[in-house]
Amino acid sequence: MQRWPRSLVVLSAMGVGLFQVVGSFGAADQQPERKALDALAVVLLLAGPMALAWRDRRPLVAVAVSMAAVDIYVGLGYPYGPIFLSVVVALYSAVQAGQRRATWLVAGVGYVGYVVASLLDPRSDEGQGVVHLALVAGWLLGVLAVSELVRSQRAQTASRARTDQEARERRAAEQRLLLAQELHDVLAHNISLINVQAGVALHLLDEQPEQARPALATIKAASRDALQELRAALDVLRRGEAAPRTPSPRLADLDSLVAGMRASGLEVTLQREDLPERLDVAVELAAYRIVQEALTNVTRHARARRVTVRCWYDGGVWLEVRDDGVGGVVHDGNGIAGMRERASALAGTVVAGPVDGGGFRVLAHLPGHPG
């Protein structure tokens, strides 16, 4: 239950007290057969509201005091009236505070006290006694039932709000994880390419400066791509879902990826067999990133001269990246783990390891249907 500020709790209790006193004097005019209000009656009329001033801290005390005041008030024969309002407020507040079972128990004891007070009331109407008690019992049960219903609805609303918040946080965490994975793949690939091309350019700069130009052009293109990806990632972090989305790379973009690798001096053969024209975006993105990461590992670790990239469709997308390097002795374990994470997210698999005769192979399978 959301707590009211103390000032509002006290002010509402004062309002209930004022209403009960003024209303009871008005009700007394219509009940001449009842005992006239006196100082004790006013004390009893104010006892419940005084307890209500502490209902946010001691809700059961407020219920007990307000019901006891009503029982004594009725037992002494004072006129019926708005004194019951403090009981309603106390019961409702106690249920909303979570004191459900104890509230029902105290209410039951208070009702028994009310029955005894009605029997001791010197001005009670014997002919209407049973009907009156039944009406009071029904009224009491109605107040408790409505309080329980409101509490249940509030609990459901709070539960839905928590669930929605957890879902938003989970989506944000997944988005951050995906963003980190994308940045790792893109930056690792481009920086590795820049590193290789920088080495080539430095080697050629003194002896064959005219041949250093392609390497420098590749460095420029790779750095531009890396900066664009970094800006897009930062935009997503700043603006969230409102950030504009750049198109995700697809299998058709492997040509440009392979071209960049060839510019670094690596002999890359790309073979595509029976691939559908379009596949699910997530499948194509994962396939592209797996090939990209595999090629990045080749440039960073394999000391290979030739790489073959094969892509084909057979009830799903198959990818194979095979090099003639050092057999995976120093292949990047983090990169392989990242490839496996991407594949497993789509119920796919990645197998990576050295092959007979030298070299290293990455074989991935991603379930997917033509789009």
Closest CA to 251 of 267, 232, 269, 275: 275
Question: Quick one: pLDDT at residue 92?
Answer: 93
Q: Within its chain, how far is the Cα of 161 from the centroid?
A: 9
d(CA 292, CA 316): 19
- The CA dihedral of 150, 153, 154, 157, to the nearest 10 degrees, is -160
Amino acid (one-letter) located at 146: V
Question: Quick one: pLDDT at residue 72?
Answer: 94
Q: In a structure prediction context, what are the per-residue pLDDT tens digits for the chain, which is 371 residues long? A: 557 788 898 999 999 999 999 999 999 988 888 899 999 999 999 999 999 999 989 999 999 999 999 999 999 999 998 999 999 999 999 999 888 899 999 999 999 999 999 888 877 765 557 888 889 899 999 999 999 999 999 889 888 998 888 888 888 777 777 777 767 676 766 776 677 667 666 766 777 776 667 767 777 777 777 777 777 667 766 666 655 556 678 888 888 888 878 877 788 999 988 888 888 888 888 898 899 888 888 877 767 889 999 999 988 899 999 998 875 544 555 678 888 888 898 899 999 988 887 889 999 999 977 65
Quote the pTM value.
Answer: 0.55
Contact, 301 vs 361, CB < 8 A?
Answer: no
